[in-house]
Amino acid sequence: MFEITKSTVINSLKNISNDKINTSSLTLNSIRKFEFNNSDLSFEISLANNSDEIKNLIVNQLKKDFNELKNVKLNILAKSTPTVSTHKDARKDAVLPGVKNTIAIASGKGGVGKSTVAVNLAVALAKDGASVGLIDADIYGPSIPLMLGSNDKPKVYQAENSVKMIPLESHGIKFMSIGLLVDDKAPIIWRGPMASGAIKQFMTDVDWGELDYLIFDLPPGTGDIQLTLVQTIPLTGAVIVTTPQEVSLIDARKALKMFERVNVPILGVVENMSYFIAPDTGNKYDIFGSGGGERICQELNATLLGGIPIDPRIRKGGDNGVPMVFGIPDANETKILMDISRKLTEQVNIRNSNASEKIEILLGDED
């Protein structure tokens, strides 16, 4: 007897080629009330479009991919935003009770555009309807206030047992950075424990409220701040940013291995500066080589979330405080970044679904 699961249904639906259904945003968590018995399938799925045309597309695709499937009972729940699953962990909930998922954006070395990727992914997730916060954890080189076009001082208020800071908001996301608290012309000359302490305070002394995602833009490397973060709070996962050339990949491997050693799942790899499209000829140039991100993913069993081309508008957006995905929504690069953010959502939901299944198995074993 053949078996159909949520995962195989999602994989089947992603074969649908139709502009009216955004298959890249489908995740395991999009499916509800799933039942499969004796060649009959019934389930609910959250989609922005719940027309009869879409329903027929889905049913026909499933019957095409699963020849033994006889009946499909489908209910489409009209929903404009992707479903966000929750990373369930008591330690995380104790530190950040209103935050569903915590994601580190990391790189093995500087200069790969990690902060640019972090800002654009955060804004992209928010554009898809998620509530998002961003912590600038690069204490020695804070750049998030510039990239989000806001450097006001955060307001504070007296909570029950402590003073709380209110994060700033820009382009649909909340954010906090040491750059908001010190003179932007003064260097941060702190030893590791002081920098690590600041990151802890950004988690415990900032009123983040209810968030689907809290993203940490980490400094490059594998030092104190990274270790402080993973020791303070269980992360949902990490995203590694690299460029195609080998000198960047060497350090990306180290970052990836570090997270594996401290039991932080790798949600995926983003290859920045993948290629350049000449605006006058349309020719593609692999300035930093090609295929590096794909090679490292194959080597280390990670998921390639996507490759971002070199485009001066991405850099200008960061310098001007208007991220690309917000300032130029119709650009091809924006579509790539939106697709990467949706694949990230999918990986988060897969990770949380797998974790829940493991917990259920463990509880079952105790019975």
Q: Which of 132, 164, 168 is nearest to 148 (CA)?
A: 168
CB atoms within 10 A of CB 50: 14
Q: How far apart are alpha carbons 144 and 215 in whole angstroms?
A: 12
Do the bridges between strand 163-165 and strand 156-158 make them parallel or antiparallel, or are there none, so unpaired?
antiparallel
Q: What is the mean pLDDT of residues 220-226?
A: 79
Cβ atoms of 353 and 202 within 8 Å: the answer is no
Average pLDDT, the chain: 86
What's the pLDDT at 199? 85
Grade residue 82 by pLDDT with cuts at 50, 70 and 90. Answer: low
Who contacts 334 (Cβ-Cβ below 8 Å, separation ≥6)? 324, 325, 328
Strand, coil or helix: what is 44?
A: strand
Cα dist from 198 to 71, 181, 192, 221, whole Å: 57, 11, 10, 18
Cβ atoms of 319 and 113 within 8 Å: the answer is no
Structure tokens at 230: 């993973």
Cβ atoms of 2 and 66 within 8 Å: the answer is yes
Query: In this predicted structure, which of 10-14, 149-153, 183-187, 226-230 has the lowest mean pLDDT?
Result: 183-187
Please count the CA atoms within 13 angstroms of the CA of 308 that sit on its side-chain side. Answer: 33
pLDDT of 367 > 60? The answer is no
Better pLDDT: 181 or 359: 181
What's the pLDDT at 19? 65
Architecture of domain 90-341 in CATH? 3-Layer(aba) Sandwich (3.40)
Q: How far apart are alpha carbons 233 and 14 in whole angstroms?
A: 34
CB atoms within 10 A of CB 257: 13
What type of residue is 120? Answer: N
What's the pLDDT at 274? 92
Q: How far apart are alpha carbons 96 and 93 in whole angstroms?
A: 5
Grade residue 187 by pLDDT with cuts at 50, 70 and 90. Answer: low
What's the pLDDT at 1? 47
- pTM metric for this prediction: 0.76
In this chain, the answer to whether the domains covering 6-78 and 90-341 adopt an identical fold is: no
What type of residue is 237? Answer: G
pLDDT of 224 > 70? The answer is yes
Q: Which of 236, 303, 267 is nearest to 85 (CA)?
A: 236
> Ranked by mean pLDDT, which of 24-28, 35-39, 353-357, 358-362 comes out on top?
35-39
Which of these CATH numbers, 1.10.10, 1.10.150, 3.30.2320, 3.30.300, describes 6-78?
3.30.300
Structure confidence by residue, pLDDT tens digits, 309-354: 999 999 999 999 999 999 998 899 999 999 999 999 989 988 888 7
pLDDT of 273 > 80? The answer is yes
- Give domain limits for the chain: 6-78, 90-341
Who contacts 17 (Cβ-Cβ below 8 Å, separation ≥6)? none
- Rg from Cα positions in the chain: 21
> Ranked by mean pLDDT, which of 47-51, 170-174, 245-249, 296-300 comes out on top?
170-174
List phi, psi (to 5°) of 180. Answer: -85, -15
Q: Which of 140, 136, 168 is nearest to 155 (CA)?
A: 168
pLDDT of 37 > 50? The answer is yes
Do the bridges between strand 237-242 and strand 266-277 make them parallel or antiparallel, or are there none, so unpaired?
parallel
